[in-house]
Structure formats: C-alpha cells, structure tokens
Amino acid sequence: MNWVIQENKFCEEQISRMGNRMLCGNGYLGIRGTLEEYRKEQMPAINLAGIYDQVGSGWREPLNAPNVLYTYIVVDGKKYTLPETEPLEHHMELDFRHGIFSRETSWKTDRGIVTVRSEHFACRDEVHRIAMQYQVTADFHAEVELYTGIDGDVWDIHGPHYDTLESAEEQGCSQMQEAAYENQGRSQMQGAAHENQGCIRMRGVTHEKGDTVDALETVTADFPCERHLAAGEKEILRRITFVTEIGRSYYIEKTAVIFTSKDEGWNLQRAHRMLQESKVAGYDALKESHCRKWEEKWAVSEVEIDGDEEAMKALNYSIYHLLSIAPTHASNMSIPARGLSGQTYKGAVFWDTEMFMLDFFLFTDPDVARSLMKYRVDTLDGALEKAAHYGYEGAFYAWESQEGGFDACSDYNVTDVFTGRPQRTYFKDKQYHISAAVVYGIMRYTQVTGDQTLLQEGGLKTVIECANFYYSLLLKKAAGDFYEIRDVIGPDEYHERVNNNAYTNRMAKFVFQSAAKLLKNLESEAAGQEYQVDELIHRFEDAAAHIYLPKPDQDGVIEQFDGYSRLEDASLDEVRSRLLHEKEYWGGAYGVAAETKVIKQADVVTMLNLFSQEYEPEILKKNWEYYEPRTEHGSSLSSCMYAMLACKCNMPQKAYPFFMNSARADLKDGGKEWAGLVYIGGTHPAAAGGAYMTAIEGFGGISVEDGTVRSAAVLPEGWNKMKFHICCRNIRYAVEVGRQGTKITEEGNVHSDAL
C-alpha cells in the first residue's frame, strides 16, 4: 500500500484543510500540516495537549506553542514565501506510515530558479522534541538569506494567550556540538564573529494562570555561512547568509524542544540536554529512531484489507490520526474532539472519546485506553460540582471537558449569522448523555481488559455517582408507573429540550444496571462503608426496571423523543433549501431543522447499535431505513453508527459508503467548517475511531464476551480478507477474517504498564 498522501499544486483556499490533513503529532503536541513560512493568518500551529488559557470573556482554549519551525528565504533581496509569491511548482506530502511531513516549492526569480525542500516530524520516541530539515537549491549563484527561528505571534481563536513573550539566545549547545562534529568528522560550521552556535529560546507566559511554555531550538548548517541574530517583539530569528553554487543543496537541520510548567520534571537544563543530545545524534539518527517507534505502533495497529486498496489506505490513515494524538506520555489524559489540530471546540474532550475512539485503543494499546478513562475518574470532582450547580445529585460530566473536568461549553455556543449575536444553546445544560458515555467507557475498559484496578482507583465511585445523577433526573407522573427524563438534548443536537430521548433513556438504564451490578459484586469493605449498598442496589434496579423506553410503533419505528412523529416530515433537500445563509445553524430555537423530522446525526440508530441484541433484526433494519434519509449527517460522528448498524443487519453493501465516509473524514473536501459563525474545522478523530470500529467490529464482526474474542464477519463485496491484531485480557491475537471464516491466533502477552 502507498502510505503517502500528497498535493501537487498550491491552492490558497486549501491551506486550512491541508493543515488538518497533513498533521503530524505524538500525543503531546500536534504540528499542523502548514508551511514553515506561514504566519498566523495561514493557521500554523504546534498545538499542545492538556494546557489551556482564557483571555477575558473569550472561550478557554488549548495553547499553541511558539512556532519553532518558522523559516523563510530571501533571494537577491526578495522574499520567496507562500501564499505571497506564486510558485513555479509546489508539492506537499505526508508519509503517514512515519508521520513525516514534507514540501518542495520552486520559484522563478529574475536570475533563475530557487527551490526549497523541507521535512519535519513530531518525534515519536521523545514527545517534547521536533526535528526539521530545510534545504535550498538554486540553478544560479543566488544570494540567499535564510531566516529561521521562533515565531511567537501564534494563531489563536480567542487569544492572544501569552501576556509576555521573552526570548533569548543561549550558548548551552555549542560545546557539545563542536565535540560532536569532530567525532563525526563532519565539517565545522563556519561563521562571522557574531555567529550563534547555541540555541534560541522563547518563553510565553499565559494570561489566566501564568503558566509558562518554553520553546527552544538549535540549528546546524552543513556549509560555510554567516549568521546574525535578530529579535523582534514576538519573534527571534537567525539570519544565515550564503551564495549558492549552481545545483548544490544547502541543508540546515533544526531540533526543537517544547515543555510547559505543567510538565513534571521539566526545566531549561533538561531541555538543553535534550537539544545537545539531539545535535550529537543528528537529523538522520533522530529520524531513524522516530520511524522505528512508528513501526512498533503499526506492528499492532495496521489493518490489512485484501481486495480494496482504497479502503485500506483510508482506514490506516484514520488509524494514523488516532496514533498521532494518543497520550502515550500520560496516565490520565484524554483526547479532544478535534485531536491536536488546533483550538476548535476549545480543545475539549467530548463523548467522542468513549463512544467512538476508545475501542481502537482497547484493542491496540490498553494503556492509552486506561489513560483516557482515568482522566474521567480523576475529573469526577468537576462532574459532582456541575451536577450540584444545576441542582442534581451525583456526577454530571462536562459536555466539553478541560482539565479538572471544567466545562468549557458556553451557554451561547453558536453565533447567529444574521445578527452576529451569540445564540443561547443548551448543549452544556441538557446533554445528559455525557455521564452515561463515561460509565460506558469504564465498563467497556473493564470488560475488554479484565483490569479491575480502574474500578478500584475511583472507577466504581464514578459509576455510582453517575447513577445517582440519572436517578436525580427521573420524574414520575402521580398516576404513572414509569420514570421519564425530560428536557434533554440527545445526540441529535438539532432538537433541543425534548422529553424521553430514546438514546438518553436507554443509556441511563445502562448506567443503573452497571451500578447495581458493580455494587452487587462489591467485595471492598471500604467502598461498602462509603455507600448504603443494599439501598442503592434496590434504587438502581428499580430505576432500570421502570425507566420509560419508547417501543417500536406499528411500523417498527422507535420514536426519537416524545412528539417526534408529529413533526413536519420535510425532506433533507427541502429543509436545506430553506436556509437563508450557507453557514446558518440548523438547530436551536429557529433553526430550519428544529420543527421537522430532519436530524443532525445518528440518534436512535446509535442506541440500536449499542443494544442491538435487545431487538429483532427486522426492527433494526426498519429504523435504519426510516432514519437514514432523515439524517443530515451534519456531524462526522454520524456515518459510522449507520455503517455499524447496517453490518448488524447483514447489509455490508449499505454499510460500505458510510464506512468510507468516516474513514475519509479528513481526506475528503467539503466537511463542515462552520456552525453559525463559529469555526469548527480540524481533524475528526471520532470519525477515525468509528471507521476502525466499523472495520473490526462491523465487517470483521469482532466482539468480546466474557474475555473471549468472537467473530461474525460480514465482509463487503470485493474484500477477500482482512488481517489485524487485537488485544483482550492481556493477550494479543492475530486475526484473519476471510470469506470462508475467521482465524484467531493467540500471539502472546501484551506488554502493558497497567495490566
């Protein structure tokens, strides 16, 4: 398979999409697939995981580090950069087997052609490190000024987040570097009296909490040159000058290190040491060990599909994105809805993680799965506070969770395109299903890994507090005999504040059942003392038995919420034609979809997918067929749920386009970039996770029951065979799914810190 995606011409309109599509990341940081010369208007970013800042009343969002890759050339006194100067040729590519971005751009100057070629990567083996190689070639004796350094004027949506930016030149690297050059017999860097062989550094101090972000970089050149240092208010740059020999390539290698005040054990000394070691090693060696680490990842993550190269590429590209944002460096960190591609959705964690991404990590790297769920367990206090704030009991998790479980979701989460005014939305107040996703994740983690320690380390308490939350939501009519949950938003966000959403109610039942089951198995006396176990079991069993779940009607259709069936049955095209503005929000009080049956994303279908064994196959199919034409798929989370349910209905051909839609979420053009006037572009890790689940659990039919891996495959046409690895209960299996059956072979124990 070809592991490269490429762009062969420059298109200014595509800058933002390419930034997402060609992202390199290592879980600690994500480098957008942008060019070295880009300024904040072109949205370059080195997006950092788990560190946030808020300025004034703007949204709290994750930080982008000072741009350590910032580099451009001036030839014969004229600047050659994109998008300003039209290129003769331009090529960009991402090697997604190894997370390496590269570009090659040629410009025609008055005296000849000059070409820049570069590549960079976010080191996989050392997540604080970035490496870049930059090369200049000309077919004439060009007078080149190469500027390279750190740009602190970073792209922000609600910034600027650095109140102060201080930069400095440091000599920390020079001695080691000289020794290294001598050892390797490489030519010494030459330069003028003011040449800098050390490193340069920039420190940003954040507005809200005074957190610091340190970015350091060092550069080596393989040719005689002059160097000067120039520091501006928000940038610190080297100016490297040389005259080219015809056809010779002039290389610089840059290594950068980034750390923040939140990173335990990190300080400037350590950063200097890492820069020095990296310089000694040299770019090629860094690249080699980075690639080796990626190969280790692929050895357990790659999915081979015999018979469908396009699907295999899209699927593994999705897996690449999941691997690029996995917090392998942390033990209680989760993944934002837009990964590490920027500040969209406030860099917050949504239900996307548990319901869409978790399975990939469970099956390939259970330590990461544990970290994702431990993040929820460790942010329980935030959820308890949120519930209390709204007058409920237990744990109501943040719809958009940042550190400590802080809910970053604003009461006004969409901006009206007509008035420019913020619109009141109820995502934060009413998407109760988020707490159920947390419970689902904890239970699924425990079921697949068999690891009980998460429950012991707070997971049990989390499940019980979520059950308490749903219990406090229950309402019963004086003469009624079932419990209702009113005034909610289900997964379909276009219909706000509805009663008895089928998905929410069934998930609440799942939470009650899970809590009761865990309490019944409770052996720990400590937990027994903390809770009135018998009373809670009785309460949750009663709630599970009596919560209202809408039943299929005479046509087999399950009503999404009370009164849904009475809404206008306008077609998707009809509803779309009512838009007055292309960026208009479809939901909310006046949205075009609100009074119709058109829904944003899979809702009943998501519920049926999770609880398919409780329904007749005919009911699953009827609901799929009823809801699909009424679904806008306005969220990238939607398609995979339709794909998976189609597999469960034995309709792999119907599933296939939805699967491809998920797998290609970050490859195709045309995805939504706006909700009202709010930018929502970025990568789509939930869709990537959904594509993985569809391939493995849908087409491959893989399920885990009582620690045993089973398969009931339904391969789509053209797929002769699938090969992949999964782990379950500390054992890794090689799986081969063919048309004649499935072979599951034990490969050995999983090396895991947690298990």
Which residues are known to be catalytic?
A: 493
Of the two residues 101 and 375, which places its CB atom closer to ligand IFM in the complex? Answer: 375
User: What is the C-alpha separation between 28 and 48, in angstroms, rounded?
Assistant: 6
Only one of the segments 37-45, 350-358, 549-557, 699-707 lies at the binding site for ligand IFM (rule: CB under 6 A); that segment is 350-358
Shortest gap between Cβ of 492 and ligand IFM (angstroms)?
9
Q: Are the C-beta atoms of residues 245 and 141 closer than 8 Å to each other? A: yes
Q: Applying CB under 6 A, does 351 fall inside the site for ligand IFM?
A: yes
Q: Are the C-beta atoms of residues 59 and 148 closer than 8 Å to each other? A: no
Only one of the segments 45-53, 281-289, 345-353, 529-537 lies at the binding site for ligand IFM (rule: CB under 6 A); that segment is 345-353
Q: Applying CB under 6 A, does 373 fall inside the site for ligand IFM?
A: no
Kindly state the number of chain residues that form the binding site for ligand IFM, as judged by CB under 6 A.
10
- Applying the rule CB under 6 A, the residues between 531 and 570 that interact with ligand IFM are none
Tokens representing 492 are 């379909």
The pairing of beta strand 71-75 with beta strand 143-151: antiparallel
* Number of other CB atoms surrounding residue 426 within 10 Å: 20
Shortest gap between Cβ of 350 and ligand IFM (angstroms)?
4
User: What is the C-alpha separation between 130 and 340, in angstroms, rounded?
Assistant: 15
Tokens representing 464 are 């019980």
Shortest gap between Cβ of 434 and ligand IFM (angstroms)?
9
Q: Applying CB under 6 A, does 635 fall inside the site for ligand IFM?
A: yes
Shortest gap between Cβ of 311 and ligand IFM (angstroms)?
23
Q: Report DSSP state, residue 536.
A: H
Distance from the Cα of residue 126 to its chain's centroid: 20
Residue 674's nearest CA partner among 571, 545, 586, 563 is: 586
Shortest gap between Cβ of 519 and ligand IFM (angstroms)?
30
Only one of the segments 19-27, 288-296, 346-354, 541-549 lies at the binding site for ligand IFM (rule: CB under 6 A); that segment is 346-354
Tokens representing 373 are 């769920």
- Applying the rule CB under 6 A, the residues between 281 and 340 that interact with ligand IFM are 337
Q: Are the C-beta atoms of residues 499 and 562 closer than 8 Å to each other? A: yes
User: What is the C-alpha separation between 432 and 425, in angstroms, rounded?
Assistant: 14
Q: Applying CB under 6 A, does 350 fall inside the site for ligand IFM?
A: yes
Of the two residues 203 and 684, which places its CB atom closer to ligand IFM in the complex? Answer: 684
Q: Applying CB under 6 A, does 403 fall inside the site for ligand IFM?
A: no
Q: Applying CB under 6 A, does 49 fall inside the site for ligand IFM?
A: no
Shortest gap between Cβ of 337 and ligand IFM (angstroms)?
4
User: What is the C-alpha separation between 619 and 608, in angstroms, rounded?
Assistant: 9
Only one of the segments 185-193, 343-351, 369-377, 590-598 lies at the binding site for ligand IFM (rule: CB under 6 A); that segment is 343-351
Of the two residues 451 and 603, which places its CB atom closer to ligand IFM in the complex? Answer: 603
Shortest gap between Cβ of 637 and ligand IFM (angstroms)?
5
C-alpha separations of 18 from 8, 11, 69, 198, 228 in Å: 12, 10, 17, 33, 33
Q: Report DSSP state, residue 559.
A: P
Residue 20's nearest CA partner among 672, 701, 630, 736 is: 672
Of the two residues 350 and 360, which places its CB atom closer to ligand IFM in the complex? Answer: 350
Of the two residues 675 and 722, which places its CB atom closer to ligand IFM in the complex? Answer: 675
What SS3 class is residue 439? helix
Of the two residues 204 and 682, which places its CB atom closer to ligand IFM in the complex? Answer: 682
Residue 713's nearest CA partner among 705, 703, 726, 724 is: 703
Q: Applying CB under 6 A, does 637 fall inside the site for ligand IFM?
A: yes
SS3 per-residue string spanning 115-173: EEEEEEEECCCCCCEEEEEEEEEECCCCEEEEEEEEECCCCCCCCCCEEEEEEEEECCC
Q: How far apart are the first and last CA of the chain?
A: 34
Shortest gap between Cβ of 686 and ligand IFM (angstroms)?
6
Phi-psi domain of 128 (left: phi exceeds 0; alpha: psi -120 through 50; beta: other): alpha
- Applying the rule CB under 6 A, the residues between 679 and 708 that interact with ligand IFM are 686
Of the two residues 118 and 683, which places its CB atom closer to ligand IFM in the complex? Answer: 683
User: What is the C-alpha separation between 245 and 136, in angstroms, rounded?
Assistant: 11
Shortest gap between Cβ of 338 and ligand IFM (angstroms)?
7
Tokens representing 595 are 């009074």
Q: Applying CB under 6 A, does 352 fall inside the site for ligand IFM?
A: yes
Shortest gap between Cβ of 674 and ligand IFM (angstroms)?
13
**Among positions 28, 70, 147, 345, the unique one binding ligand IFM when judged by CB under 6 A:** 345
Q: Which helix (H) or strand (E) holds 463?
A: helix 460-473
Of the two residues 216 and 489, which places its CB atom closer to ligand IFM in the complex? Answer: 489
The pairing of beta strand 249-260 with beta strand 708-711: unpaired
Of the two residues 345 and 699, which places its CB atom closer to ligand IFM in the complex? Answer: 345
Of the two residues 66 and 671, which places its CB atom closer to ligand IFM in the complex? Answer: 671
Which residue in the block uniquely carries the two structure tokens 């699907």? 311
Tokens representing 333 are 């960190």
Only one of the segments 195-203, 348-356, 451-459, 566-574 lies at the binding site for ligand IFM (rule: CB under 6 A); that segment is 348-356
Which residue in the block uniquely carries the two structure tokens 């690297």? 173
User: What is the C-alpha separation between 552 and 558, in angstroms, rounded?
Assistant: 4
Of the two residues 33 and 491, which places its CB atom closer to ligand IFM in the complex? Answer: 491
Only one of the segments 347-355, 389-397, 465-473, 514-522 lies at the binding site for ligand IFM (rule: CB under 6 A); that segment is 347-355
Q: Applying CB under 6 A, does 20 fall inside the site for ligand IFM?
A: no
Helices and strands (H and E) in the chain: how many? 22, 28
Only one of the segments 31-39, 128-136, 349-357, 414-422 lies at the binding site for ligand IFM (rule: CB under 6 A); that segment is 349-357
Shortest gap between Cβ of 20 and ligand IFM (angstroms)?
14
Of the two residues 351 and 483, which places its CB atom closer to ligand IFM in the complex? Answer: 351
Q: Applying CB under 6 A, does 491 fall inside the site for ligand IFM?
A: yes
User: What is the C-alpha separation between 636 and 294, in angstroms, rounded?
Assistant: 27
- Looking at residue 719, its amino acid is W
Contacts of 721 (CB under 8 A, 6+ apart): 304, 305, 306, 307, 736, 737, 738, 739
Shortest gap between Cβ of 341 and ligand IFM (angstroms)?
12
Residues near ligand IFM, by CB under 6 A: 337, 345, 350-352, 491, 493, 635, 637, 686
